[in-house]
Amino acid sequence: AVREIVRHPGAVAILPVLEGETRRVVMIRNYRPSVGASIWELPAGTLEPGEEPAGAAARELIEETGYRAARLRPLCRLLTSPGLTDEEMHIYFATGLEHVGQNLDEGEHIEVEPVTIDAVRRMVTDGSIRDGKSLAGLMLADRLGWLDGSEGGGA
């Protein structure tokens, strides 16, 4: 049997949290031609040649959301689809956000929407968020207490 494997340089996703009286996750809606719909996701992108994951996370966060993070903390690494590709996704938890303006790649149209923690939890459980990396990052951060502001322990 011949098995095709898609080689991938690696990728990052970022779980950005706006702090304040009401903590909010900066989610994006991104049109995905493969599923023919705009879907809820965490900001993400592919590593450039020679780029470190933390640098890619900082770059993609600004490009896609317009926010710069004072703090990027590794949350987890996951294999996106090990039956098809060797892609490894590095997920970072981002805080200390400052709005500096989106810098989208040509052809990208991304809607940015800060969502309350309670609303994100509902979206995870009601199926509104279907993207795997986003579900994994949100559920792990919630389990660790990071969404509520307890970033001191775990991982």
Q: Active-site residues: which are they?
A: 106
CA distance 106 to 150: 37
How many degrees, rounded to 5, is the angle at CA 136 between CA 66 and CA 101?
Answer: 0
CA distance 24 to 35: 27
Are the C-beta atoms of residues 126 and 70 closer than 8 Å to each other?
no
138 Rama sector, left if φ>0, alpha if ψ -120 to 50, beta otherwise: alpha
CA distance 140 to 144: 6
DSSP state of 51: -
